[in-house]
Structure 1
């Protein structure tokens, strides 16, 4: 979460999700426009105002620490969500990939292959590739998810 104020009214604090960026400044500017429309702004902006004129302010350090923890939890949830998505993808394609893998083994034997098996093998290479890539991403995500799980456990403990 990023916080902005106006040079004309330092007591007005506008907040936007994320870090300081053009998008965050535009969201803060939208809040400012709402405040102006509703008459909640204690100053007038007769000369106009742009997102670049917003001044980033930092909340007291205890709020910063809490915000960093909240950001860590959000990131941990995203990592765990990605792990869950990859796990489902790997599980659903595993059986088909194992069938194609058996056809690959036929290539290394002296046994003849039928035209149907050869066609199935050629079509199955996409499945095999997709499964292998998903499985590698899943293994990598699982390693990252361990740290995410620890962050979540810390946030859930009282």
Structure 2
């Protein structure tokens, strides 16, 4: 998720799934236009505005653009985002797992570089090839670890949505 604000209106935060990219900025621009058209924010951008002028922020402030949207829409958006986050998290986990075993073998071979034992050229070449696997695993593992807190939050959002559905279905079954 990426969050954008405007220098003209720093209280407004627009949240878009994914990373900062031209597509994400375009989606944020669409949100901004909709908010202006709906009259939820004043259209006081006298010199115009383009997506490159968005300021990326780390955490949304308490007063977000979503504050004016009904709770049912917010919860549906939150659920959709939670599912997307969990989907991405599952992909990251698969990527990390896929290269872990081979990366650990290469890592064990790295120690041979730090001994007094002679190492032949073929072994060095295998290590150099293995470094690519090691790098791939390390990057995937780092992304997986960085995504963990966001995935845990997404799991909580999903659990809350499921508990609402479970309590509603339990109530309807007990009424029958």
Normalised by the length of structure 1, the TM-score is 0.61
Residue 138 (1) aligns with residue 147 (2):
no
- Unaligned ranges ≥5, structure 1: 1-17, 26-53
Q: Take 1:145 and 1:155, find their aligned partners in 2: how far apart are those partners?
A: 15
Residue 112 (1) aligns with residue 118 (2):
yes
**C-alpha distance after superposition, 1:24-48 (max 9, x if no partner):** 87xxxxxxxxxxxxxxxxxxxxxxx
Q: Which has the larger radius of gyration?
A: 1
Q: Take 1:111 and 1:127, find their aligned partners in 2: how far apart are those partners?
A: 24
- Unaligned ranges ≥5, structure 2: 1-26, 41-66, 165-176
**C-alpha distance after superposition, 1:70-100 (max 9, x if no partner):** 1111111111111100110011100111111
Q: How does 1:49-88 map to 2 (within 5 A)?
A: 55-56=37-38, 64-88=70-94
1:129 is matched with 135
Instruction: Judge conservation of contact 1:103–1:117 (CA < 8 Å) in 2.
Output: no
Q: Take 1:19 and 1:67, find their aligned partners in 2: how far apart are those partners?
A: 17
Relative to structure 1, the CA distance from residue 66 to residue 106 in structure 2 (aligned partners, 3 Å threshold; closer, same or farther) is: same
Q: Take 2:69 and 2:101, find their aligned partners in 1: how far apart are those partners?
A: 49
Find 1:150's aligned residue among 156, 171, 175: 156
The DSSP-based 3-state class of the residue aligned with 2:114 is coil
Following superposition, the deviation at residue 114 of structure 1 comes to: 2.2
Instruction: Give aligned pairs, total.
Output: 110
2:105 is matched with 99
Following superposition, the deviation at residue 123 of structure 1 comes to: 1.3
1:21 is matched with 30
The DSSP-based 3-state class of the residue aligned with 1:21 is helix
Following superposition, the deviation at residue 19 of structure 1 comes to: 6.1
Following superposition, the deviation at residue 57 of structure 1 comes to: 6.0
**C-alpha distance after superposition, 1:86-129 (max 9, x if no partner):** 11001110011111111211011111212221001111111111
Q: Take 1:86 and 1:96, find their aligned partners in 2: how far apart are those partners?
A: 17
CA RMSD across the alignment: 2.5
